[in-house]
C-alpha cells in the first residue's frame, strides 16, 4: 500500500511539474510575441524621429500613428476604428467617430488598457486628453506611441508637424493600449 501511495504521489508531482512547465512556456511565448510586436512598431516609429509629417497641416497625430501601425502591422490599420472610444460619453451629439480622430483606437477591443504612464512599454499607443481645441474636458485629442521610460514619439501640431520623442505629460494622460497580438503579427 505504501508503494502504491508513493507511486501516486510521484505521478501527481510529475503532472504538476509538467503543468507548471507548460504554463511557464506559454507565458514566455506571450512575452516573446509582445517583444516582437513592440520591436516592429518601434522600428517603424523611430524612422520618423525629427522628421516632418504633413508639414503645416494640423491634427495629423492619428494619421501619423496609423501610418506607423500600417508599416509595422499591416493595412488593417488604414481604417480600423472603434465605435466605443473611452471618451464617447464626452462627445457631442453631432461629433462623428472617424479614423483620423485621436480617440479612434482608444478602446479595450484593441488590447489591454494601461491606466498608468509608468506601466507603459515601448509600442503601446498613448492617448492624451485636453491638448487642444474647444472639446469638452476629458476628450482624447492626441495620440502617440510609447518609447519606454515614460516617453513617447508623436507627430506634434504645435511645431508644424515634426515627429518628436518627449515625456508623456502626466496631466493629459488618458490611458494607453497594448495591442492584442491578433492586430500585429
Does residue 167 register a pLDDT over 80?
Answer: yes
More confident residue, 30 or 72: 72
58 vs 117: CA distance, rounded Å = 26
Rounded to 5 degrees, what angle do the CA atoms 83, 146, 80 make? Answer: 25
- CB neighbours of 58 closer than 8 A, spacing ≥ 6? 157
- CB neighbours of 4 closer than 8 A, spacing ≥ 6? none
Count, in order, helices (H) and strands (E) of the chain: 2, 6
pLDDT digits (tens, 9 = 90+) for 18-52: 666 655 666 566 667 678 889 999 999 999 999 99
Q: How confident is the model at residue 2 (pLDDT cuts 50, 70, 90)?
A: low
- CB neighbours of 154 closer than 8 A, spacing ≥ 6? 61, 64, 65, 126, 142, 143, 144, 145, 163, 164, 166
Does residue 95 register a pLDDT over 80?
Answer: yes
The pTM of this model reads 0.83
> What secondary structure does DSSP assign to 95-132, as a single string?
----TTSGGGG-SGGGEEEE--GGG--TT-EEEEESSS
- Residues recorded for the chain: 185
Amino acid at each position: 500500500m505504501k508503494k502504491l501511495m508513493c507511486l501516486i504521489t510521484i505521478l501527481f508531482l510529475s503532472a504538476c511539474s509538467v503543468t507548471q512547465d507548460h504554463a511557464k512556456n506559454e507565458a514566455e511565448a506571450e512575452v516573446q510575441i509582445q517583444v516582437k510586436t513592440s520591436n516592429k512598431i518601434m522600428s517603424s516609429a523611430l524612422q520618423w524621429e525629427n522628421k516632418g509629417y504633413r508639414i503645416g497641416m494640423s491634427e495629423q497625430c492619428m494619421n501619423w500613428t496609423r501610418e506607423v501601425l500600417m508599416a509595422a502591422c499591416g493595412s488593417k490599420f488604414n481604417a480600423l476604428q472603434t465605435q466605443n472610444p473611452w471618451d464617447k460619453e464626452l462627445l457631442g451629439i453631432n461629433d462623428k467617430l472617424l479614423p483620423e480622430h485621436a480617440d479612434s483606437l482608444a478602446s479595450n477591443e484593441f488590447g489591454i488598457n494601461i491606466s498608468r504612464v509608468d506601466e507603459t512599454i515601448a509600442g503601446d499607443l498613448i492617448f492624451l486628453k485636453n491638448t487642444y481645441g474647444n472639446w469638452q474636458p476629458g476628450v482624447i485629442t492626441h495620440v502617440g506611441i510609447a518609447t519606454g521610460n515614460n516617453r513617447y514619439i508623436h507627430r506634434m501640431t504645435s511645431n508644424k508637424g515634426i515627429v518628436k520623442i518627449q515625456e508623456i505629460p502626466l496631466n493629459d494622460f488618458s490611458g494607453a493600449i497594448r495591442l492584442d497580438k491578433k492586430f500585429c503579427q
